[in-house]
């Protein structure tokens, strides 16, 4: 009896030793993304911060009707097919029939119709539903969206950005901004919400086994806040993180895959065009001639970027006008233009009526991607404008205060920046005109002094004919470059590095994720196996080999442990 007991104990010990690495391996099937900001709001549509990283943290939980792969082509997501009937101004979406909410309820056309009605009543910052009249569920999986007028960016702006909400949860939510209950995190996306810590800036998601496109190829997805993202990668604490341009080669040598992003984010000089002399088009053009964009790229970015187009749309966008009006660096021409406005150059400074031409420039430590970073742009701009005779007072303030001052028109010039310039050209409309009923954005010029520009922007949004729309977009860029309601300075090149052994092949999406978020965290990457390379979305659930519960080796390991225990006991007997 004692022998049997001893054998069982030894078996158990050996079995535990064998099992420990297997259990650990199961726990290792997680993917970590490092970020040095951390808190981007709760990962729910109305609670996530209104910037790209906030949307991305929400998009793992909530799906849209359609989505974009790396080529920027629209691919089916909740809607397996769709069509537009121009005569009726109606979009018809047929939904997949196996989609489920994370609480087990089926996703139906009623949820889509409800989301549109709900977001019309409670405006959601990422989509504009003014052009949508109403939505109707035709049957359980077919929804009709009736438009009140033509709206060209519908598919990207609404179809590919609007997260679908579960009606059975949200129908009772009166104030979505205050709704932080469990229901706020029930979506139908590939990952389920597990945890968010505002203090620690961490997010934790778990793969949704019943996802209609198949289980994602990682069990857990975690965002970790870290002061040094590069260090986190090198120490193996993260599998994906942004890196400094100078470190790209080092990371490649260390076995990481480094991806350089397209140029869909611009550093921009906001101009108070309501104030003299900045209200003059000639003066703004003189500023453009006085600014040496190449110097910004060489000094501020240390060569890792490119000068920006003066037409706002990224020069790498399919919508970019190749012949957009340009302002090559020419300080002499700038001086001539300022002189033509009645200014006189005295001791290197322009004066008018005995008063020196002096402007304030607001700067903040806003970094690429929103993180805190030191900024040399103010110093470079001051130097360049003082060279042509404009006195500059540089004021460094906290980002939110700079934004507020710009919104209140309490500034002369301010250095700011935004993305989205590689996606749909509607960004031109959004960054020039203040959409009625929406919150003022510090990146929007709010410029309505040019009838021609207003008319072209209107065409750009409502023209459904692709050729005519392209023409309007090209013309609008030229008029924008002529009027210069703001001056784009440069596009930084962003680098991300990822660990290929983690099993996910990350990519930058052409035009940006959703409405143009220039961050390589498209959820589609998590639906593909690294080994499959160029393959499409994996349609079946991916079986992870290291799932302890499903491992067929388990009984064999148990038998092996018992045999080993007998062997040890026998060899331990005295002869």
Partner 1 sequence: MHFRFFKEFKRNKIGIIGLTILLFLSAAAVFAPILAPHDPWDYSFMYLQQPSMDHLLGTNDIGYDILSELLWSLRTSILFGVSVAAIACTIGTLVGVSAALVGGTYDVIVMRIADSLLAIPTILVLILIAAYFKPSVFILIITLSLIIWPTTARGIRAQTFSLKTKLHIKAAKNMGASTFYIMHKHIMPELFPLCAMGFVTKTRIAVFMEAGLSFLGIFDPTVKSLGIMISYATHFLYMDVWFNWLMPPVLSLSLIIISLAFISYAIEEIFDPRLRSNHDTQI
- Residues near partner 1 (CB under 8 A) are 230, 244, 246-247, 299-300, 302, 363-365, 373-374, 376, 378-380, 382-383, 393-398, 401
CB of 564 to partner 1, least distance (A): 49
Complex with partner 1: residue 230 or 499, whichever CB lies closer:
230
Helix (H) or strand (E) holding 66: strand 66-68
State whether the Cα torsion 118-119-120-121 is positive or negative: positive
Q: How far is it, in rounded angstroms, from Cα 288 to Cα 487? A: 7
Residue written as token pair 């021409």: 333
CB of 189 to partner 1, least distance (A): 35
CB of 264 to partner 1, least distance (A): 24
- Alpha carbon 548 to its chain centroid, in Å, reads 35
Complex with partner 1: residue 230 or 514, whichever CB lies closer:
230
Give CA angle at 406 (402, 408), nearest 5°. 115
Complex with partner 1: residue 115 or 242, whichever CB lies closer:
242
Residues in contact with 251: Cβ distance below 8 Å, sequence separation at least 6, in sequence order: 230, 233, 243, 258, 497
CB of 253 to partner 1, least distance (A): 14
Contact 44, 60 (CB under 8 A): no
Q: How far is it, in rounded angstroms, from Cα 558 to Cα 536? A: 39
Contact 240, 251 (CB under 8 A): no
Complex with partner 1: residue 126 or 296, whichever CB lies closer:
296
Complex with partner 1: residue 90 or 247, whichever CB lies closer:
247
CB of 396 to partner 1, least distance (A): 5
- Alpha carbon 134 to its chain centroid, in Å, reads 28
CB of 41 to partner 1, least distance (A): 22
Complex with partner 1: residue 19 or 247, whichever CB lies closer:
247
Determine the number of helices (DSSP H) and then strands (DSSP E) in the chain: 16, 22
Complex with partner 1: residue 302 or 439, whichever CB lies closer:
302
Running DSSP on this structure, what letter comes out for residue 41? B
CB of 365 to partner 1, least distance (A): 4
Q: How far is it, in rounded angstroms, from Cα 280 to Cα 189? A: 50
Q: How far is it, in rounded angstroms, from Cα 133 to Cα 153? A: 16
Running DSSP on this structure, what letter comes out for residue 106? B
Which is nearest to 492 in space by CA: 355, 250, 296, 354? 296
Complex with partner 1: residue 104 or 374, whichever CB lies closer:
374
Residues in contact with 108: Cβ distance below 8 Å, sequence separation at least 6, in sequence order: 95, 137, 140, 141
Residue written as token pair 């006991």: 569
CB of 248 to partner 1, least distance (A): 12
Complex with partner 1: residue 105 or 360, whichever CB lies closer:
360
CB of 397 to partner 1, least distance (A): 6
Complex with partner 1: residue 88 or 246, whichever CB lies closer:
246
CB of 518 to partner 1, least distance (A): 21
Residues in contact with 184: Cβ distance below 8 Å, sequence separation at least 6, in sequence order: 42, 44, 46, 47
């Amino acid at each position: 009896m004692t022998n049997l007991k001893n054998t069982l104990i030894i078996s158990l010990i050996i079995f535990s030793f064998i099992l420990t690495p297997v259990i650990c391996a199961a726990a290792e099937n997680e993917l970590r993304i490092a970020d040095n900001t951390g808190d981007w709001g709760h990962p729910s549509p109305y609670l996530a911060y209104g910037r790209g990283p906030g949307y991305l943290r929400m998009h793992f939980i909530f799906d849209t009707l359609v989505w974009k792969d790396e080529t920027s082509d629209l691919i089916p997501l909740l809607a397996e097919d769709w069509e537009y009937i121009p005569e009726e101004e109606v979009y018809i979406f047929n939904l997949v029939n196996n989609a489920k909410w994370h609480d087990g309820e089926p996703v139906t056309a009623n949820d889509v119709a409800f989301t549109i009605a709900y977001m019309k009543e409670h405006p959601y910052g990422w989509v504009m539903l003014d052009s949508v009249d109403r939505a109707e569920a035709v049957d359980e999986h077919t929804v009709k969206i009736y438009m009140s007028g033509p709206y060209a960016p519908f598919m990207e702006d609404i179809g590919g950005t609007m997260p679908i909400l579960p009606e059975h949860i949200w129908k009772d939510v009166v104030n979505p901004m205050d709704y932080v209950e469990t229901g706020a995190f029930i979506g139908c996306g590939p990952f389920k919400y597990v945890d968010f810590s505002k203090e620690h800036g961490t997010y934790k998601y778990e793969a949704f086994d019943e996802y209609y496109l198949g289980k994602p190829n990682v069990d857990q997805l975690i965002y970790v806040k870290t002061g040094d993202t590069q260090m986190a990668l090198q120490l193996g604490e993260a599998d994906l993180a942004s890196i400094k341009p100078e470190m790209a080669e080092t990371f490649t040598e260390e076995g990481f895959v480094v991806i350089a992003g397209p140029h869909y984010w611009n550093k921009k000089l906001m101009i108070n065009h309501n104030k003299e002399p900045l209200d003059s088009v000639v003066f703004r053009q003189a500023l453009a001639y006085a600014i040496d964009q190449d110097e910004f790229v060489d000094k501020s970015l240390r060569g890792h970027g490119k000068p920006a187009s003066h037409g706002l749309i990224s020069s790498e966008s399919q919508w970019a006008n190749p012949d957009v009006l340009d302002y090559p660096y020419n300080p002499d021409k700038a001086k001539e233009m300022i002189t033509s406005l009645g200014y006189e150059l005295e001791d290197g400074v322009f004066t008018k009526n005995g008063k020196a031409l002096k402007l304030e420039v607001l700067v903040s430590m806003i970094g690429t991607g929103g993180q805190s970073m030191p900024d040399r742009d103010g110093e470079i701009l001051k130097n360049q404008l003082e060279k042509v005779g404009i006195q500059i007072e540089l004021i460094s303030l906290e980002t939110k205060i700079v934004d507020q001052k710009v919104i209140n028109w309490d500034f002369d010039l301010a250095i700011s920046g935004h993305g989205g310039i590689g996606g749909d050209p509607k960004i031109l409309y959004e960054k020039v005109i203040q959409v009625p009923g929406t919150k003022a954005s510090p990146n929007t010029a709010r410029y309505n002094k040019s009838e021609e520009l207003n008319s072209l922007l209107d065409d750009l949004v409502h023209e459904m004919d692709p050729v005519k729309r392209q023409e309007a977009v090209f013309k609008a860029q030229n008029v924008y470059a002529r009027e210069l309601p703001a001056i784009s300075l440069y596009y930084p090149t962003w680098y991300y590095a990822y660990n290929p052994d983690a099993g996910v092949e990350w990519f930058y999406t052409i035009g940006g994720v959703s409405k143009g978020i220039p961050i390589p965290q498209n959820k589609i990457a998590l639906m593909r196996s690294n080994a499959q390379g160029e393959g499409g979305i994996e349609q079946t659930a991916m079986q992870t080999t290291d799932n302890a519960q499903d491992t067929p080796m388990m009984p064999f390991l148990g038998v092996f442990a018992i045999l080993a225990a007998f062997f040890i006991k026998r060899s331990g007997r005295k002869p």
